[in-house]
């Protein structure tokens, strides 16, 4: 018997999730699922943080259930992009997704095909984002703008002087508030000079 989690969402406090709950309980009963958990959000679908959905995904990662039942796809996600992300994560966790209204069932052959298509769309979206970032970095380089963190403005002569006076790497590191590896790099760069002055 598959363990099922039910997810309901209503947009306002005045609305009641009981209608969704009744339909999902009926569907679970017809399919022979054991309902192990119920999650409810009384919040707009546009909100990024939703305690019920966050709890559902957290428990899915812990393997608490095998299938998620929702009344409609728009109950679980605030946008198509978010819906694809949720579905993609459930698929990676081997948790089936069943929608009452759209009759989407990722446990069957058609549902698995939908997951493959969704996965391909999500991968395409990630590739496009990466390409846009790379294009932006190329443009910035062409315009002579610096990319990444600004280089540290270090007083190399003072660091080398402190080392010649017998200070340890850790003491210099604390004094200039830089990692000991950075101190070592500066000293290594100036090694020939230090040897000549010794």
Instruction: Indicate if 11 belongs to the active site.
Output: yes
| CB crowding 91-104: b at 16 or more within 10 Å, else e | beeebbbbbbeeeb
CA-based nearest residue to 96, from 68, 76, 117: 68
Task: With 0.75 as the threshold, say if the pTM is over it.
Answer: no
Single out the catalytic residue among 11, 29, 44, 79.
11
| Averaged pLDDT, 53-62 | 94
Q: Which two tokens stand for residue 12?
A: 């306002």
Greatest Cα pair distance, the chain, in angstroms, is 87
Q: How far apart are CA 175 and CA 74, in angstroms?
A: 56
| Averaged pLDDT, 94-122 | 79
24 pLDDT more than 90: yes
How large a percentage of the chain has pLDDT more than 90? 27
Residue 43 φ then ψ, to 5°: -160, 155
Do residues 78 and 45 make contact, with C-beta atoms less than 8 angstroms apart? yes
CATH fit for domain 3-105, picks 3.40.50.720, 1.10.10.920, 3.40.50.1390, 3.40.630.30: 3.40.50.1390
Q: Where are the domains of the chain?
A: 3-105, 156-197
Q: Which two tokens stand for residue 155?
A: 């007083």
Q: What is the pLDDT of residue 105?
A: 84
Q: What is the pLDDT of residues 122-157, one digit of tens each?
A: 677 778 888 888 888 888 888 888 776 666 778 888
């Amino acid at each position: 018997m598959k363990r099922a989690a039910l997810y309901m969402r209503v947009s306002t406090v005045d609305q009641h999730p009981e209608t969704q709950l009744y339909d999902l309980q009926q569907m679970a009963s017809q399919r022979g699922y054991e309902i192990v958990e119920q999650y409810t959000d009384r919040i707009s679908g546009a909100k990024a943080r939703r305690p019920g959905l966050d709890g559902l995904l957290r428990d899915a990662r812990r393997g608490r259930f095998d299938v998620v039942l929702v009344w409609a796809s728009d109950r679980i996600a605030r946008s198509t992009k978010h819906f694809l992300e949720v579905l993609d994560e459930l698929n990676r966790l081997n948790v089936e997704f069943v929608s009452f209204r759209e009759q989407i069932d990722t446990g069957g052959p058609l549902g698995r095909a939908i997951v493959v298509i969704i996965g391909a769309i999500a991968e395409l979206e990630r590739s496009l984002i990466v390409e846009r970032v790379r294009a932006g970095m190329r443009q910035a380089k062409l315009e002579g703008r610096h990319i990444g963190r600004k280089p540290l403005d270090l007083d190399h002569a003072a660091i080398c002087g402190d080392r010649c006076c017998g200070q340890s790497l850790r003491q210099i590191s604390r004094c200039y508030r830089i990692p000991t590896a950075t101190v070592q790099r500066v000293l290594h760069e100036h090694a020939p000079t230090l040897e000549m002055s010794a």
